[in-house]
Amino acid sequence: MNDSLFQKNLAALPSSLADAVQNPPNTMNALDLNSKNSETKISYELTKSKTGDPTLELDGVWIHSRFDPKKEAERFATELPHDGSERIYLLFGAGLGYIIPFLMERKNITTIWMEPNSFFIRESFRIFDFSKSFLEGKLILITGEGMEDQLSEAVKGKGTHPISFVPHRGSWQWKEDEYLRLKYTAEQMFHKKDVNLATLTRFEKIWAKNICYNLPELSKFRPVSDLFGIAKEISIVVCGAGPSLSESIPEIIKFRKQFLLLAVDTAVPILTSFGAEPDLIFSVDPQALNSQYLEDYSGEAILVFDPTSTYISLRLEKGPNKGFVTSSPFPLIGLLERTGSDEIGSVPFGGSVSTNAASLATLMGAKSVYLVGQDLSFTKGLAHSKGAVLEERLNYLESRKFRREKHNYKQLFALPRKQVKGNQEEIYITNEKMLIFKKWFEDHAKENPWINLTRFGAKLEGIPHSEFSNEFSNDEFETKNQTNLVQSVRNQIHSLLQNEISFFNQDQLVSEIKSTTEALLNFVTTVKRGLTVSRRIYNQIQKNQINPKTFSEDIKQMDSIDEQVSGKKGLNEILSLGIQRVILTITEGYDDHLSVEEKENAQLGVAKKSLLLYEGLYESVRTTKRMLTKSLYRML
């Protein structure tokens, strides 16, 4: 075997990936069959096929043909779709790599090779020279830890390329479970990416609007970092609004004094209707409907508020109007952050308010964090817990042709239905969106002291399942001790909000907003010029009426404008939140804005993307300036 070829291939890989190939992790998902440290030691020896090419037999399974492995690979490659357009082949295993050279001959093809068993990679590196393909990006290897993240990075910028899943027959016959897991990983990653992109493009303008409109109220809040580490000696129950929540209410009430209750906003009406008062309410959702969970609330609970959550919640006649604000990944929050006396504090985001709440409980330092109402399934055929606001709103919508049962049915079938096991091996119906949240909890289980008290619903792997009676004491002395500790923490939290010294400097915030709106006013002139010139360039290309002299002048002018715009980094970051769909069109290839003509004509497609960028920027400049001006008037 050729060791120089092996080293050449390794040198073409990123150092971390090369290390994973040479020193695979000691797990069942990445077996090093020659290593004495691997969990399963398997001896193997390459043999020559009838044609003299190396082949391999493992556990009675021929990974490649024992007669002619190259011909076998070529025959399989011809069956894969290829029409000359951009396409991705996603290989779930490739054995010794015989199929890869045939795929590399094709134009406009990117091949991604996912391989959990590193010995296959090492042996293939001694047979074939993949170095040029690796360096050109035509071949991408995925192995070792974090395969889902690696795959996500590999397909970045190729959002519209069709993808062909290509399982390697020999590898699957040998270890079907391992390679099937790769397929599940890929399916999950693509679905998660689609959900995230759909969320981003759906809520881009709402998030920007909410942050702008929330600034006056949030300037009176405390930073969520004040809560970090405050609950070290006590337990926190994180309450979601899953269908089984109503069945856990009696136990929540029975042991209520022994823990701090952190509820998501959707669970508040259910809890309070039974007299279970939360201590903290977490609000994240940007939609106006979520304000209705809080509109009649008159208790003492304190709000933990994401800046992108609906601004209506902070303007209710009733409802919590004091609390803690979290940071945000969106640059607009910088207007508020720069006026603070310290860091606001970030809470890990898993796509759901329940994931945020669980993360906050951990950051608060609780000795135990209990999850309740986290069904992550349609328990007993219900989409929401009985008493949820969304359900109660149907009282006003019901008619002869629209019943609440019909709405519940639509919720159950809005996304493809999936099955998931419960804690007693029972089967529940769920959907792909909830499976994303389920995996988030499971992925973060090791570093978090979570215990699942949810009565029914999906089993959370790696998170112990228990009952209230096993976790909280009936002993009078112990109950009194815990009650005193919880009350002490509760008092500390309330005292933080009584601090007379404001965390945020409101005069400075007014100044920040003023300077930003003035900068936007000046910036809009440049952006409008860019819009005019990009539209002129596009029209010339589309009508095929290019005047060489004027076209050249327009291109030079466009380059100058592009340089001016790109130089406004701070403003561009602020404006980017409102034009995510356009950014994805340009950077990720999500070209749903492009017509067939624009896709076929590369020059026209580039001109259209430039036009889309300046249209988006122009709209974002105007709307952001208008929204910030409104908030400024409310603060003066």
The pLDDT tens digits of the residues spanning 44-94 come to: 889 999 999 999 999 999 999 999 999 999 999 998 888 888 889 999 999
Strand spans (E) along 38-117: 47-48, 54-55, 57-58, 61-62, 87-92, 109-114
- DSSP assignment of 298-333 equals -SS-EEEE-TTS-GGGGG-SSS---EEE---SSGGG
Which has the closest alpha carbon to 587: 175, 142, 159? Answer: 159
Residues 415 and 535 in one domain: no
Q: Is residue 197 part of a domain?
A: no
> Using 50, 70 and 90 to split pLDDT, how confident is the model at 402?
very low
Q: What is the pLDDT of residue 393?
A: 44
pLDDT for 441 beyond 70: yes
Residues 47 and 17 in one domain: yes
Q: What is the pLDDT of residue 464?
A: 96
Q: What is the pLDDT of residue 314?
A: 93
Residues 146 and 253 in one domain: no
Q: Is residue 184 part of a domain?
A: no
In angstroms, the CA 99 to CA 37 distance is 31
Q: Is residue 514 part of a domain?
A: yes
From 463, 498, 533, give the residue that closes a domain: 498
Q: What are phi and psi of 263, to 5 degrees?
A: -110, 145
Neighbours of 348 (CB within 10 A): 14
Total domains present in the chain: 3
Q: What is the pLDDT of residue 32?
A: 35
Residues 404 and 458 in one domain: yes
Averaged pLDDT score across all residues of the chain: 86
* β 280-283/259-264 pair status: parallel
Average pLDDT of span 505-527: 94
> Which of residues 538 and 408 earns the better pLDDT score?
538
Q: What is the pLDDT of residue 346?
A: 92
Q: Is residue 458 part of a domain?
A: yes
pLDDT for 354 beyond 80: yes
Residues 132 and 261 in one domain: no
pLDDT for 442 beyond 60: yes
Q: Is residue 35 part of a domain?
A: no
Name the maximum alpha-carbon separation found in the chain: 90
In angstroms, the CA 22 to CA 24 distance is 6
Contact call for residues 564 and 543 (beta carbons, < 8 A) = no
Q: What is the pLDDT of residue 262?
A: 98
Q: Which of 24-28, 222-226, 385-389 shows the highest mean pLDDT?
A: 222-226
Residues 298 and 225 in one domain: yes
In angstroms, the CA 567 to CA 494 distance is 45
Angle, vertex CA 537, rays to CA 536 and CA 540, nearest 5: 85
pLDDT for 407 beyond 50: no
In angstroms, the CA 353 to CA 345 distance is 17
Q: Is residue 185 part of a domain?
A: no
Least confident span in 335-349, 412-426, 490-504: 412-426
Q: What is the pLDDT of residue 631?
A: 95
Contact call for residues 349 and 200 (beta carbons, < 8 A) = no
pLDDT for 410 beyond 70: no
pLDDT for 548 beyond 90: no
Q: What is the pLDDT of residue 577?
A: 67
Least confident span in 95-109, 174-188, 401-415, 523-537: 401-415
Q: What is the pLDDT of residue 435?
A: 86
Average pLDDT of span 596-603: 79
> Using 50, 70 and 90 to split pLDDT, how confident is the model at 447?
confident
Average pLDDT of span 460-489: 93
Q: What is the pLDDT of residue 559?
A: 92
Average pLDDT of span 542-560: 89
> Which of residues 157 and 226 earns the better pLDDT score?
226
Which has the closest alpha carbon to 124: 169, 93, 90, 164? Answer: 93
Q: CB-hemisphere CA count at 13 Å for 243?
A: 19
pLDDT for 406 beyond 80: no
Integer CA distances (angstroms), 480 to 256, 297, 483, 484, 489, in order: 12, 29, 5, 6, 14
**Residue 356 domain boundaries:** 202-498
Residues 489 and 512 in one domain: no
Average pLDDT of span 192-205: 65
Residues 492 and 587 in one domain: no
Q: Is residue 195 part of a domain?
A: no
Angle, vertex CA 166, rays to CA 156 and CA 26, nearest 5: 75
Average pLDDT of span 312-322: 84
From 174, 190, 220, give the residue that closes a domain: 174
In angstroms, the CA 209 to CA 202 distance is 13
Which has the closest alpha carbon to 131: 14, 11, 18, 21? Answer: 11
Three-state DSSP state, 550 = helix
Task: Show Cβ contacts of residue 289 under 8 Å, excluding neighbours closer than 6 positions.
Answer: 389, 390
Residues 156 and 251 in one domain: no
Q: What is the pLDDT of residues 100-150, one digit of tens each?
A: 999 999 999 999 999 999 999 999 999 999 999 999 999 999 998 888 889
Q: What share of the chain in percent tops pLDDT 90? A: 57
> Using 50, 70 and 90 to split pLDDT, how confident is the model at 25?
low
From 466, 498, 530, give the residue that closes a domain: 498
| CA terminus-to-terminus distance, the chain | 77
CA 419 and chain centroid, separation? 22
Average pLDDT of span 436-441: 89
Q: What is the pLDDT of residue 561?
A: 92
Q: What share of the chain in percent tops pLDDT 70? A: 87
Q: Is residue 20 part of a domain?
A: yes
Structure letter (DSSP) for residue 293: G
pTM of the prediction?
0.72
Q: What is the pLDDT of residue 135?
A: 94
Residues 164 and 214 in one domain: no
In angstroms, the CA 430 to CA 377 distance is 4
Average pLDDT of span 38-45: 61
Least confident span in 184-188, 244-248, 474-478: 184-188
Average pLDDT of span 438-451: 90
In angstroms, the CA 520 to CA 596 distance is 35
Q: What is the pLDDT of residue 396?
A: 43
CA 514 and chain centroid, separation? 33
Residues 480 and 619 in one domain: no
Residues 305 and 398 in one domain: yes
Average pLDDT of span 251-262: 96
